[in-house]
Homo-oligomer: A and B are copies of this chain.
Amino acid sequence: MPDNEFELIARYFAGGKVSRTDVILGIGDDGAVLQIPSQHELVVSMDTLVAGIHFLHESDPESIGYKALAVNLSDLAAMGAEPVWATLSLTIPEANHDWLQGFSRGFFTLANRFNVQLVGGDTCRGPLAITVQLHGFVNTGEYLRRDTARPGDLIYVTGELGDAGLAMLIKKRKLAVAQQDYEYLSGRLDRPTPRVTEGRNLTGIARSAIDISDGLIADLRHILDASRVGAILYIDRIPVSAVFASCKDFVGPDLAWVDLAAAFGDDYELCFTIDARDRDKLRERLSDIRYTCVGEITSSTGLRCLLENGKEHMPESAGYNHFGGQ
């Protein structure tokens, strides 16, 4: 067991496998020294996970380490950036070897996969919480933003929504689903694959983008508010996984599954808009993954959610909010 924070950093965090040539000075000084290539801009994103709020106290430390980086990778994906360096602030009640080893394994699994180097941070004692800042590059001017959607744009989502919400529901209500379905769903909750490659492929074609962490409804609203436009969302076109579809009845009667897929969040897919004329181009850019058109941007503000049968249906809970409002 390390008896001080410097040993702790050396043992669990200084040995990442990624060693980038643009890191001039990494962990171990008052600050890290980093090089940005010319003709590039820096994109930064910072997210905090607090025990009891973003994850259960008893959560598997490997998942916590993984997710602390994943949520930031997802933010950078939504900016169209290539992730390069991370800093980590880790506040822990005690220096528990098993916990730290698990956490660090989860964190570096994902860091190694995306060639992200941990370059600095802070460790201290206190209530369990993790803050990660991720740094990425874009070619100058070639980043995605949320305030640039235009009327007539088509609205898309990558992948499938609702799996994370369903996993949480199963955990909370202790529902009896097949083991292999449960594993698929918890994997989607605990170890989401951030859409980094897809985000980068969307630069120059997506007119606006955001990651779906608060739920599609809430995050699409951010695009609408920032762009001063409205949208029609074809709510039952929201794509779900085969496992989700087979478990629909667990969620509740009628449209409960739509509400979960549209509003729960934690999916870390991307929502983006494109000029309707760019549909063919989009097919080339996202040839490897499922993506679905779920609506269109309107000049009249406000969000209308329509079912295929033409009726309106607004999902009940629209996005997690830390300070009580909707």
A interface list, Cβ under 8 A from B:
2-5, 7-8, 24-25, 28-36, 38, 41-48, 50-54, 75-76, 78-79, 81, 87-89, 91, 94-95, 119-127, 129, 131, 133, 135-136, 138, 140, 143, 145-147, 209-211, 226, 321-326
Whether A36 lies near B28 (C-beta < 8 A) is no
Asked if residues B210 and A31 are in contact (CB atoms below 8 Å), the reply is no
CB distance from A207 to the nearest CB of B (A): 14
For A46, give its contact among B42, B45, B87, B211 (CB under 8 Å): B87
User: What B residues does A50 contact at CB under 8 A?
Assistant: 91, 124-127
Q: Which residue of B lies closest to A42 (CB)?
A: B34
Establish whether residues A322 and B42, one from each chain, have CB atoms under 8 Å apart when the complex forms. Answer: no
Alpha-carbon distance between A54 and B4 when the two chains are bound, in angstroms: 16
Q: Give A133's nearest chain B residue, CB to CB.
A: B133
CB contacts (< 8 Å) of A124 on chain B: these are 48, 50, 53-54, 322
The answer on a CB contact under 8 Å between A30 and B210 is yes
Q: Are A41 and B34 in contact, with the CB atoms below 8 A?
A: yes
A146 in complex: contacting residue of B29, B119, B126, CB < 8 Å: B29
Residues of B within 8 A of A51 (CB): 126
6 closest Cβ pairs, A-B complex: A3-B325, A50-B126, A4-B325, A31-B45, A127-B127, A30-B78
Residue with the greatest number of chain B CB neighbours at <10 A, chosen from A36, A47, A48:
A48
Residue from B4, B79, B88, B321 in contact with A321 in the complex, judged by beta carbons closer than 8 Å: B4
Provide the residues of chain B in CB contact with A119, threshold 8 Å. 44
Q: A28-B226, A143-B25, A323-B125 are in contact. Are A46 and B5 (CB under 8 A)?
A: no
B146 touches A79 (CB 8 A): no
**Whole-angstrom distance between the alpha carbons of A209 and B25 in the complex?**
14
Which chain B residues border A325 with CB–CB below 8 Å? Answer: 3-4, 7
Given contacts A45-B120, A46-B87, contact A79 B129 (CB under 8 A): no
Pair B36/A75 contact, Cβ less than 8 Å: no
Contact status A34-B43, CB under 8 Å = yes
The residue in chain B whose Cβ has the minimal distance to the Cβ of A7 is B325
| Highest count of chain B CB atoms <10 Å: which of A31, A47, A209, A210 | A31
- A323-B25 CB under 8 A given contacts A36-B42, A42-B36, A87-B46: no
What residues of B have a CB within 8 angstroms of the CB of A53 in the complex?
124-126
A145 to B7, CA, bound (A): 20
Q: How far is the CB of A73 from chain B (nearest CB, A)?
A: 11
CB within 8 Å for A79 and B48 given contacts A5-B322, A325-B4: no
What distance in Å separates the Cβ of A4 from its nearest Cβ neighbour in chain B? 4
In whole Å, how far is A55's beta carbon from the nearest beta carbon of chain B? 11
Q: How far is the CA of A121 from the CA of B90 in the complex (A)?
A: 16
